[in-house]
Amino acid sequence: MNQKSRVLIGLASVCDFLGVTRPTIYQYLKLGMPGAKLAGTWHFHVDHIEEFFRRKTMRIDVVNPDDLKEEEAAFPEHVK
């Protein structure tokens, strides 16, 4: 376990770290962001938060070609 993974930060610190508000953090938690509520207080490992967002941004969306055709028909002015 590296040094960073041993550090727990609270809700206010994770808000500052990510530059978001508390309600946004609660939404991230619903989406699977790792955190633990101990004695009524949220705690987070910085490296777990970083890994969560690294995995989220590396996700590749698969596009169905038929969906693109429908979008092109709906917005012909945007098709080049």
Q: Structural domain boundaries of the chain?
A: 4-78
Q: Among 3.30.190, 1.10.10, 2.30.30, 1.10.760, what is the CATH number of 4-78? A: 1.10.10
Cα–Cα nearest to 15, from 26, 4, 30: 26
Per-residue pLDDT at 19? 93
Residues 4-54 pLDDT 10s: 557 889 999 999 999 999 999 999 999 899 999 999 999 999 999 999 988
State the pTM of this model: 0.63
Instruction: Tell me the chain's radius of gyration from C-alpha atoms.
Output: 19
User: Which tokens belong to 27?
Assistant: 């939404």
In whole angstroms, what is the distance from residue 15 CA to residue 62 CA?
31
